[in-house]
Amino acid sequence: MSRAAQEHNVDRDQAAVLPDLLTPELDVVFCGTAPGTVSAALKQYYAHPQNKFWRVLYDVGLTPSLLKPSQFADLLAFGIGLTDIAKQSFGMDNQLPRGSLGIEAVGALRARMEKFRPAHLAFTSLTGGRKFLGVRAEFGLQPTLFGPTAIWVLPSPSPAAHWNWDEAPWRALADRVRSTV
């Protein structure tokens, strides 16, 4: 990646591109690798108009209505939180500055999860799940817990990952969340 591209993708103040949406003991926290460029520009999670995130939350029954990206803070009322591994970078995974998804970023995510202790942590990409778990994770519920937190790896709702889309792991997560609430 060119220096100009890196400067474009990194917030110079090292502030989070998007704020965490976290409170203690949420039912589920969705974790992306990094906000996309549209999300970063609008300061809203999963804001690309072709991103399936908001539609799938509604379709699988995790929200009672179809929310817009601008309503992301409303998710707390439904026991849902949001975060990313890379907090100071944005763009597609292959555009992120070196180290954005590295040991320090994953360690910071682990610390946030230890602090807030959600029932479920759901990665919205295979890359995110594998970075956190350090193993060759597959889609669905993972065999290991992180403290009391069940770990899920979900197909990415990003339009760039449409070739890999499968709603079934999202439905399985929603069923599990509803059964433990």
Give me the residue spans of the domains in the chain: 23-180
**Cβ-proximal residues to 127 (8 Å cutoff; 6+ apart), any chain:** 33, 93, 101
pLDDT of 167 over the 60 cut: yes
CA pair distance 145, 152, nearest whole angstrom: 10
Identify the residue whose tokens are 């959600």: 118
pLDDT of 76 over the 90 cut: yes
pLDDT computed for residue 15 by the predictor: 84
Joined together, the tokens standing for residue 7 give 């400067």
pLDDT computed for residue 101 by the predictor: 78
pLDDT computed for residue 11 by the predictor: 32
DSSP label at 167?
A: S
CA pair distance 97, 172, nearest whole angstrom: 33
**Cβ-proximal residues to 150 (8 Å cutoff; 6+ apart), any chain:** 119, 120, 121, 141, 142, 176
Per-residue exposure over 128-162, b if at least 16 CB sit within 10 Å of its own CB, e if not? bbbbbbeeebebbebeeebeebbbbbbbbbbeebe
Beta strands 140-146; 149-153: pairing state: antiparallel
Residue 20's CB is within 10 A of a number of other CB atoms, namely 16
Burial class from Cβ neighbours inside 10 Å (0-12, 13-18, 19+) for residue 91 reads buried
pLDDT for 137-152, tens place per residue? 899 999 999 999 999 9
pLDDT for 94-134, tens place per residue? 777 787 777 898 999 999 999 999 999 999 999 889 999 98
pLDDT for 2-16, tens place per residue? 333 333 333 334 589
- Match domain 23-180 to its CATH number in 2.40.50.220, 3.40.50.300, 3.40.470.10, 3.40.50.150: 3.40.470.10
pLDDT computed for residue 46 by the predictor: 96
Mean pLDDT of 41-60: 96
With bands split at pLDDT 50, 70 and 90, how would you rate the model's confidence at 181? Answer: low
pLDDT computed for residue 6 by the predictor: 33
